[in-house]
Amino acid sequence: MNFIIVGCGRLGSELARRLNQSGHTVVVVDQNKAAFERLSADFRGRTVHGEALSEKVLERAGIKEADGLAAVTNSDTLNAVVAHAARVIYQVPVVVCRNYDPRRRPLLEAFGFYVVSSTAWGAQRIEELLIGITSRAVFSAGNGEVEVYELVLPPEWHGCTWADLCSGNLGTLPVAVTRAGRAMIVTPDLKFEAGDLLNVSATFEGIKILRAQLESRKE
């Protein structure tokens, strides 16, 4: 597949390396020629030096034949404009936009882009580590708005059901429970046992409520 990466910073150069190693054709665009020095020595794609807002630069990069474009500079405004042009003018099938400043994330989401906010996602992870984890995220969707968490049920919840555990918590849904190495669907009448490995999908607020509920019986 043919991909264009706009921005050859740490993120852009690493993305270029990964896509290139996976066998894809990659073109990296940056207005700073020195930025291309970040590309790995074995990078076999093309580089285009120039302003990404220029149609000539984008067309030199092959945007008319691109299967996807990632705008990953440290300017949210630039990323938004390039992503919009790629999708609306050139009909690029997949457009991903990096969010650098979390305060501007709603603006990017309003355009309907795929948005990746590493700052917001990283802050959420660090918060979880600092406050003490009773569960861990094993899968993240989008920018972490919904994740699948894995937690071990403490003895205090032996014999309880999902309704007992999550009554009124609309931010969580059961995925599966694993007992003695065997996974099961969480049915309304399933009674948990101490040591069960429970997977739930949850928002960040939902998992905070669930953690508090798990701790409540220890008090």
Question: What's the pLDDT score for residue 118?
Answer: 80
User: For residue range 39-59, what is the model confidence (pLDDT) as tens digits?
Assistant: 999 999 999 999 999 999 999
CA–CA gap between residue 165 and residue 168 (Å, rounded): 9
| Fold of the domain spanning 121-216 | Alpha-Beta Plaits (3.30.70)
Question: What's the pLDDT score for residue 89?
Answer: 94
pTM score over 0.85: no
Question: Domain locations in the chain?
Answer: 2-116, 121-216
DSSP per residue, 180-207 = TTEEE---TTPPP-TT-EEEEEEEHHHH
Question: What's the pLDDT score for residue 30?
Answer: 97
Mean pLDDT within 19-38: 95
In DSSP terms, which residues pair with 116 in a beta bridge?
98
Q: Is 58 exposed, middle or buried (0-12, 13-18, 19+ CB in 10 A)?
A: buried
Question: What's the pLDDT score for residue 131?
Answer: 59
Mean pLDDT within 66-90: 94
Q: How far is CA 138 from the centre of its chain?
A: 12
| Fold of the domain spanning 2-116 | Rossmann fold (3.40.50)
